[in-house]
């Protein structure tokens, strides 16, 4: 089982301890260099350009490209997962250029998390069509695959068309992993046919629970190497209750997950760092002390 980190600080969605709201560059540096040293596979950053005031999912969202560019300069091996990019808000070549440059600068550490999006106000604000965002996202995924890791990109689809467009620098990975978000059967089908993995909402929070997840996965002939990326329904407490943490992650694996995106229980920064270290030990991560 591979273990990634659902990042603190970078968004204020859901209940958060006060230190996260007050955190600055020094705290970000400490958290993410620690996660890198402890062997976590990736860290996440959500994406919203602008949201209505008082939005239930939160109001603070760091920009993923700017944030990951800084973190790439101070880390060595942890990967960078925008979780998730809303495809309908971007032209595919824009994403290929921005994240291809990030992949180039980070030495091939980008994993693209993408989704259809559901915040209609944000689409309207940016002048993007909302009603057909599903088929647009499918076409964008095909266009992304055609342009992420090549210098000269050509694609002709239902919504996007370009011929011999130079994308330089481009991604250094021969095939940048693309994980598709969304919790529905349609999202899973999109992930299987157009992506390299599926990263739904946390289990039992809009997403599938541990009983329905195996049935949903069994409906598809999953490609070799296909990732199922699951965020647990509860914060793990590896210092206070390691057995429960192991049990929950084990059950998620038994349900079909290949990657767990962990969130740990904490009240202060020092406790958060202790929990990261305890989880790394508990799950046998490849530490570099």
| Domain locations in the chain as residue ranges | 2-207+229-236+245-282
Contact (CB, 8 A) for 178 and 141: yes
Residue 96: the pLDDT is 99
- To 5 degrees, how large is the angle CA 35–CA 37–CA 38? 65
Between CA 221 and CA 192 the distance in angstroms is: 8
Residue 5: the pLDDT is 98
Does the domain spanning 2-207+229-236+245-282 belong to CATH 3.40.50.2000?
A: no
Joined together, the tokens standing for residue 65 give 């490209």
Tens place of pLDDT for every residue, the chain, 289 residues? Answer: 999 999 999 988 777 899 999 999 999 999 999 999 999 999 999 998 887 787 767 778 999 999 999 999 999 999 999 999 999 999 999 999 999 999 999 999 999 999 999 999 999 999 999 999 999 999 999 999 999 999 999 999 999 999 999 999 999 999 999 999 999 999 999 999 999 999 997 765 556 788 899 999 999 999 999 999 999 988 999 999 999 999 999 999 999 999 999 999 999 999 999 999 999 999 999 999 7
Residue 65: the pLDDT is 98
Residue 149: the pLDDT is 98
Residue 202: the pLDDT is 75
Between CA 200 and CA 203 the distance in angstroms is: 8
Torsion region of 204: left, alpha or beta (phi above 0 gives left; psi -120 to 50 gives alpha): left
Sign of the CA dihedral running 92, 190, 197, 131: positive
Helix (H), strand (E) at residue 143: helix 133-147
Residue 205: the pLDDT is 52
Phi, psi of 263 (to 5 degrees): -125, 130
């Amino acid at each position: 089982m591979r273990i990634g980190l659902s990042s603190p600080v970078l968004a204020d969605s859901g209940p958060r301890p006060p230190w996260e709201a007050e955190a600055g560059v020094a705290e970000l540096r400490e958290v993410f260099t620690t996660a890198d040293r402890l062997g976590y596979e990736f860290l996440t950053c959500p994406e919203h350009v602008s949201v209505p005031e008082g939005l239930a999912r939160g109001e603070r969202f760091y920009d993923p490209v700017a944030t990951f560019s800084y973190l790439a300069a101070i880390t060595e091996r942890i990967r960078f997962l925008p979780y998730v990019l809303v495809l309908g808000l971007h032209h595919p070549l824009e994403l290929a250029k921005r994240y291809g440059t990030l992949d180039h600068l980070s030495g091939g550490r980008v994993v693209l998390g993408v989704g259809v999006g559901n915040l209609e106000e944000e689409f309207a604000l940016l002048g993007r069509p909302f009603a057909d965002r599903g088929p647009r996202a499918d076409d964008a995924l095909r266009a992304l695959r055609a342009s992420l890791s090549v210098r000269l990109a050509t694609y002709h689809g239902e919504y996007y068309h370009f011929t011999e467009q130079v994308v330089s620098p481009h991604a250094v990975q021969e095939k940048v992993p693309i994980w598709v978000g969304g919790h529905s059967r349609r999202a899973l089908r999109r992930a299987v046919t157009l992506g390299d993995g599926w990263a739904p909402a946390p289990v039992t929070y809009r997403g599938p629970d541990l009983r329905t997840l195996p049935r949903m996965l069994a409906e598809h002939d999953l490609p070799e190497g296909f990732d199922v990326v699951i965020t647990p329904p509860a914060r793990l407490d590896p210092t206070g209750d390691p057995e429960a943490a192991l049990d929950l992650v084990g059950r998620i694996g038994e349900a079909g997950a290949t990657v767990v995106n962990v969130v740990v229980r904490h009240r202060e920064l020092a406790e958060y760092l202790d929990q990261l270290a305890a989880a790394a030990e508990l799950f046998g991560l490849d530490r570099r002390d």
